[in-house]
Amino acid sequence: MKLGGHFFEDLGPGQRLINPVPRTVTEGDVALYIALTGDRNPKNCSAEFARSLGFARAPVHDLLVFHIVFGRTVGEISLNSPGNLGYADLRFLRPVFPGDTLRAETETLGWRETSKGDTGVVWVRTTGFNQRDERVLQFYRWVMVNKREPATPTGAVDAPAMPKEAERAHLHALPYPPFARFDASATGGARFWEDYAAGERLLHPQGMTIEEAEHQLATRLYQNTARVHFNQHQQQASRHGRRIIYGGHVISVAQALSFDGLENVIGMAAWNSGSHTNPTFAGDTLFAWTDVLEAIDIRRDDLGALRLRLVAVKNVDPSQQEVALMATDESGRERYAPAVVLDLEYVGLMPRRAVAG
């Protein structure tokens, strides 16, 4: 890893990077994640409930696993990034438990200089492993990276195509043990997989204001060292003039808010796509809604899958007023509306009614 991090010119396609600083996940990490996000999934905080689902103990939250693996990659990929742009084909491959040690490897797949010339976009694929070298997570992402020499063109135009969704075959080989009974009193949820239909919109009723100290602590928890989140001295000269909240923290808060209405979603199987559409700053209040896109039969008697679109917005409550997803800018181009900060399509796992107890 270069002192000061890689710039765009350093990240041409075809590199394989062994990301430094493996991380052992602890019970303290799990508790702090709950404190910072308000997450209420009992699978990740109740050992007894987790055992009723066939786990030996409560597994680590899927998103905490993602953040820790993501954090391994920042020093080499996005330390000098103004912002992460999107994700594709993210698969949760194996449960992680407190005491497991996570590490990451990243391949650079492509790069393209932006039209302005001072930055470029880099596409990568990251794989997370546990201490037994078993894959626990893999994902594609693309990130904007500052150039070391903004005035010197690189000629980089290699932009790879990204998968449109995670492979459906992944859903038929989930590492979730079979279970015979689901105690819905632990979640408080009355709806099961059969009760959701494509086209339904769930307006999650709660909002959460993100405080400066909270997002700083969350990002440090994941050892995400990107300057755009921490260095106010540097960021005061940026376009926004202030630090940007780590987009992954926005995902976690939005997903925690979605518990109301999706109480029985016990985990994530995959993300098909995701975009950080506008920046979020300390003091912004996040709200969320979820569109049900599809109910997926994964050939299990106890479990089904829902393809869901989670949208997060800032400083406007969609349960109280209509919020546009898209807007037209001054040039006539359609873009995400300024209030929209996240557009994430994922596959959630939910018990079938046959195991309701």
- Reported as a single tens digit per residue, the pLDDT across 208-232 is 999 999 999 999 999 998 888 988 9
| Tens-place pLDDT, residues 131-190 | 999 999 999 999 999 999 999 999 999 999 999 999 999 998 888 999 999 999 999 999
Place of tokens 């980089």: 156
Spatial distance between the Cα atoms of 69 and 73, rounded to a whole number of angstroms: 7
Spatial distance between the Cα atoms of 81 and 74, rounded to a whole number of angstroms: 9
Spatial distance between the Cα atoms of 141 and 73, rounded to a whole number of angstroms: 11
Which segments of the chain does DSSP mark as H helices, in order? 27-37, 47-52, 62-77, 212-221, 227-230, 232-235, 247-257
Whether the CB-CB separation of 102 and 25 falls below 8 Å is answered with: yes
Q: Which of 7-11, 81-85, 261-265 has the lowest mean pLDDT?
A: 81-85
Spatial distance between the Cα atoms of 30 and 293, rounded to a whole number of angstroms: 30
Query: 267-301 burial by CB neighbour count: b if 16+ within 10 A, else e?
Result: bbbbbbbbbbbbbbbbebebbbbbbbbebbebebe
Q: Is the pLDDT of residue 282 over 90?
A: yes
Instruction: Using alpha carbons, list the distances in angstroms from residue 220 to 32, 202, 216, 249, 256.
Output: 11, 32, 6, 11, 20
How is residue 177 annotated by DSSP?
Answer: P
- The domains located in the chain, with CATH, are 8-355 (3.10.129.10)
Q: Is the pLDDT of residue 102 over 80?
A: yes
**Residues above pLDDT 90, as percent of the chain:** 88
Residue 23 pLDDT grade (very low, low, confident, very high; cuts 50, 70, 90): very high
| Tens-place pLDDT, residues 40-76 | 999 999 999 999 999 999 999 999 999 999 999 999 9
| Tens-place pLDDT, residues 322-355 | 999 999 888 889 999 999 999 999 999 999 999 9
Check residue 1 and give its pLDDT. 58
- pTM of the full predicted structure? 0.96
Which of helix, strand or coil describes residue 151?
Answer: coil
Residue in 105, 115, 112 with CA at minimum distance from that of residue 145: 112
| Tens-place pLDDT, residues 114-126 | 988 899 999 999 9
Residue 151 burial (CB count, 10 A):
7
Q: Is the pLDDT of residue 3 over 70?
A: no
Q: Mean pLDDT, the chain, as a whole number? A: 95
Spatial distance between the Cα atoms of 250 and 312, rounded to a whole number of angstroms: 8
Spatial distance between the Cα atoms of 63 and 66, rounded to a whole number of angstroms: 5
Spatial distance between the Cα atoms of 189 and 183, rounded to a whole number of angstroms: 10
